[in-house]
Structure 1
Amino acid sequence: MFILDIFSLPQKIDFSINSLMISLALGALLSWGLKIHYQRWGSSLSNRVAFSKVFVFITLTTTLIISIVKSSLALSLGLVGALSIVRFRTPVKEPEELAYLFMCIAVGLGLGANQWLATVVASCMIMAITTFSQRQKNDEQSLFLALDWKKSQEVYLNELQNVMSNLMIECDLRRFDSHGECEEVVYYVNIKDSEILLKFIDKLKMDFPNIGISFLDKTKIPGI
């Protein structure tokens, strides 16, 4: 009886192809801007250029789905059933990647609902706030630190962490590899100046002889 009552309600809402075209055009512009923003200001260790290529596709697809589904109650119920069996299985390695994906979906939802002004203004404000936050971080020196050693050297992560926490503004473990006789870790670190960097290298060499040390400046490496 309940099902019959649902489908007896008006199910068709006026659908405008012009509105859809406007939503898709705005979605293309906003997702392109989000793509450039992520490549420039993102701090993910993964390939940011390759990952950001899906932003336009996700945004426009979400816009299309919402634009179609909102015109029919039956389609809305069908979408709920479809989403109950769909799982997102692409590995998301870092929270930042997930945040940008949610941003793409949010833009698609807003544009699909024809909330053009609110979506454009909110998207621009979010990207501006994020840019300002990242610029403050870039006033410091942000680096990827790769350390490698042989297992026989007995280098312990806790001891490494203690050394870095005393000299670094920020220290975040991003990757740990163990293969054959070697182990390798990658940290994302922030330091105040080059003098602290040199002091840190000397400290590492003193406490962990024969350890391999590599620094990569994330702001000058294309593609990551």
Structure 2
Amino acid sequence: MATSTTFTDIFKSSFIEKTTTFSLTDSLIGLISAFLLGIVIYIVYKKTFNGVIYSHTFNISLMIMTMATSLVIMGISQNVLLSLGMVGALSIVRFRTPIKDPMDLVYLFWSIIVGILCGAGFILLGILGTILISLVIILFANKIVVENPYLLVVKFANGEAADSIDQLLKNSTKKYALKSKSHILEYETEVTYEIRVKENDTKVVSDISQVKGVSSAVMLSYDGNFTA
């Protein structure tokens, strides 16, 4: 009489029993290595940050991501079924936090790679790569000059003010571009410029406020993205 293999019989096989066969010492070494290298990434990011607003939570997440990636890789390497389940679980995850700075993407990729290397047992390669990448970032970080753009929002009441504002921007800024223009009321117009000032000189907003016909002038720092 032929016997059939059921789904339960598969899960009773030695294929599943291998989930408990892992080295606690190797796992601790991998996690500790990922933690230490994550600290290095944390320090490098904090010391070389040149953006507008430093995010401490993002920096902490880099270190945690290194350890979490290492943990996932160690789990996947021990059992094939676990690896398939992990792939299925990660395939439904959607990350909606926008990453606007290309260097932030570099740090994220760096953290993930270090976590993979530590989890796979290539700790020395992770250390060597971390040292070299840190040196490159530190050497070139101080040579990167960040020129923060500004949004200048001006409200004025007549057509003569527009010509005066354009002339003033030509003389007082390094570069400017009209982003939007709207008529709030029949007699009032609002315009938005993207400007780049000379040596962080914000005196231009005071000069524009004194132009005849201008009712208000506001200058805001922003990250380069604008939605009209």
Give the aligned partner of residue 31 of structure 1: 38
User: Structure 2 unaligned runs (5+)?
Assistant: 1-6, 185-189, 210-216, 222-228
Per-residue deviation at 1:26?
1.2
1:150 aligned partner, one-letter code: V
Contact kept, 8 Å, 2:42 with 2:62, in 1: the verdict is yes
Contact kept, 8 Å, 1:27 with 1:63, in 2: the verdict is yes
1:73-121 per-position Cα deviation (integer Å, ceiling 9, x unaligned): 1111112211221111223232222221111111111100010000110
Contact kept, 8 Å, 1:92 with 1:98, in 2: the verdict is yes
1:71 aligned partner, one-letter code: Q
2:57 aligned partner, one-letter code: A
- CA distance in 2: counterparts of 1:77 and 1:39, whole angstroms: 36
- CA distance in 2: counterparts of 1:26 and 1:112, whole angstroms: 9
Give the aligned partner of residue 56 of structure 2: 49
Contact kept, 8 Å, 2:175 with 2:195, in 1: the verdict is no
Return the match for 2:98 from 81, 91, 100: 91
- CA distance in 1: counterparts of 2:73 and 2:25, whole angstroms: 15
Structure 1 residues 58 and 201: CA distance shift in structure 2, 3 A? closer
Q: Which has the higher contact order (CA 8 A, sep 6+)?
A: 1
Provide the aligned C-alpha RMSD in A.
4.2
Normalised to the residue count of structure 2, the TM-score between the two structures is 0.63
Normalised to the residue count of structure 1, the TM-score between the two structures is 0.64
- Count residues in correspondence: 185
- CA distance in 2: counterparts of 1:44 and 1:90, whole angstroms: 17
2:208 aligned partner, one-letter code: P
Contact kept, 8 Å, 1:147 with 1:185, in 2: the verdict is yes
Look at both structures and tell me which one has the larger radius of gyration over its CA atoms. Answer: 2
Return the match for 1:144 from 144, 148, 156: 148
Give the aligned partner of residue 125 of structure 2: 118
User: Structure 1 unaligned runs (5+)?
Assistant: 167-172, 190-195, 216-224
- CA distance in 2: counterparts of 1:44 and 1:209, whole angstroms: 28
Between 30-39 and 84-93, report the one with greater CA deviation.
84-93
Structure 1 residues 213 and 151: CA distance shift in structure 2, 3 A? closer
Contact kept, 8 Å, 1:145 with 1:213, in 2: the verdict is no
DSSP 3-state at the match of 1:34: helix
Return the match for 2:174 from 147, 164, 173: 164
